[in-house]
Amino acid sequence: MPALSSRGQSRPYIAYFWLLLLFAISVTYYARTITDVFSLLLHSTQHVRDPFELDGPEMALTSVQAEARAAGITDGDFLTGIDGRWAHGFTDFYSLVRHAQPGQRLQVQARPSASGNPAPKNASIELQPAFPNGPRAADWLAFALEDVGIPVLCFALGFWVAMVRIHDKMAWLLLILLLSFAEMFGAGGNAEFYGPLSLLQPFFVAYHVLFANLFSSALLLFALYFPEQLSLGRRFPWAKWLVVGPLLLKASADGTILALQLHHVAIALRLRQFLHVILDQISLLHFVAVALFFGILAYKTSKAFDHDTRRRLLLLDTASAISVLPISLWLFFFRIHFAFPEWGMLVLAALWFLFPLTMAYVILVYRAMDVRLVIRQGLRYLLAK
């Protein structure tokens, strides 16, 4: 690891300020998410399930439930109004649903998806309980694993290493990787995006989209720099930006579009229509980044001359192959055409949990980043002072 300069060691205030700011944002975000999902499970009969879901700035209706079908709503219709008022964004619908009680009626105005000029629909939907018979053990297990276990482990490990090695770029990269890892599988984005109206809602939706889209880029950068920078990376430092740069652009654009969808779907639709060709092409780079991650890790493992380094890399290779590879393939290729059953999603979540566990094991047991050594040195310095 690169040595810290005396100036960086004596004036770490700026770095700690940014770390504390990110910590405060992340704590607030995770606390809201966990509280929202826990309340839904604990008071399941007092909350209502969504009669349908909204998709895209067009506000297309998907996953239409039986109560909405009984009222005349079908998949592919477009939401235009709620209770006689024009629907300007997703929050107009979801904020009402989150505060509704089972048995209440929701008045929905929708435009059919059929060609021509069909008459608009005015539907009165009787809302149903989120869990009519209460949450099952599988629902609580999914909450414990996806909403609590994975995010808390990633959160604790990432911020602890960054705090101990505040000026180490590798520690910050690890933090970004772990925060993005938590967003790829957790329900945080859904809890915010489909949650009740609040001033922080657009901000946290953008947070979720940004970190979820940073996952593949963070994987690539981690492979390039861990445990040492790839020799080709030193020779051609600009090459990584051919993949990472467009992905950062896409993450920013997607976050902006989704945040606008909360209250201004018309603006979000125009922005997406303007950028859709570029964004669709850039999406392919997610797969390129993940493929490079595996390729670079395999290359470093084969070239490692130190026994401990090879063992650390083999652990990461194995955990990545078991955890990251199958889920990445499902996210990038099969999710549209193949939906896992509920038990299958729990298996995927358990596999997803393996990667941050391996990262913690490599860092704490094999001392890949000398965190314990830094703690001991800091304590000695503090006692000497």
Q: How many alpha carbons fall within 13 Å on the CB side of residue 207? A: 23
| CB count in 10 Å sphere of residue 165 | 19
pLDDT (0 to 100) of residue 357: 80
pLDDT (0 to 100) of residue 7: 44
pLDDT, one tens digit per residue, over 300-322 is 888 887 787 788 888 888 888 88
pLDDT band, very low/low/confident/very high, at 189 (cuts 50, 70, 90): low
CA-nearest of 369, 359, 350 to 317 is: 359
Q: Is the pLDDT of residue 226 over 50?
A: yes
Q: Average pLDDT in the 55-61 region?
A: 87
* CB-based burial label for 6 (10 Å; 0-12, 13-18, 19+): exposed
- Counting DSSP H helices and E strands in the chain, the numbers are 17, 6
pLDDT (0 to 100) of residue 361: 75
State the helix-helix crossing angle for 241-261 and 215-225, rounded to 10 degrees: 150
Residue 150 token pair: 């994975």
Q: Residue 79 phi/psi, 5° resolution?
A: -70, 130
CA-nearest of 284, 132, 268, 116 to 206 is: 268
Q: Residue 8 phi/psi, 5° resolution?
A: -65, -35
In this structure, what is the dihedral angle of CA atoms 351, 355, 356, 359, given to the nearest 10 degrees? 150
Q: Average pLDDT in the 310-336 region?
A: 75
Average model confidence (pLDDT) across the chain: 81
Considering only 54-58, 284-288, 294-298, 307-311, which range has the smallest mean pLDDT? 307-311
In the three-class reduction of DSSP (H, G, I as helix; E, B as strand; rest coil), residue 126 is classed as strand
What is the torsional sign of CA 244, 249, 252, 258? negative
Q: How far apart are the first and last CA of the chain?
A: 26
> What is each CA distance from 154 to 146, 181, 360, 366, in whole angstroms?
12, 7, 9, 18
pLDDT (0 to 100) of residue 10: 46
Q: Which residue would you say has higher pLDDT here, 341 or 89?
A: 89
Residue 357 token pair: 């566990």
CA-nearest of 26, 47, 28, 51 to 37 is: 47
Contact 101, 48 (CB under 8 A): yes
Residue 371 token pair: 């965190």
Cross-strand partners of 70: none
CA-nearest of 115, 100, 111, 37 to 67 is: 100
What is the torsional sign of CA 35, 37, 38, 44? positive
In the three-class reduction of DSSP (H, G, I as helix; E, B as strand; rest coil), residue 306 is classed as coil
pLDDT (0 to 100) of residue 345: 67
In this structure, what is the dihedral angle of CA atoms 358, 364, 365, 366, given to the nearest 10 degrees? 90
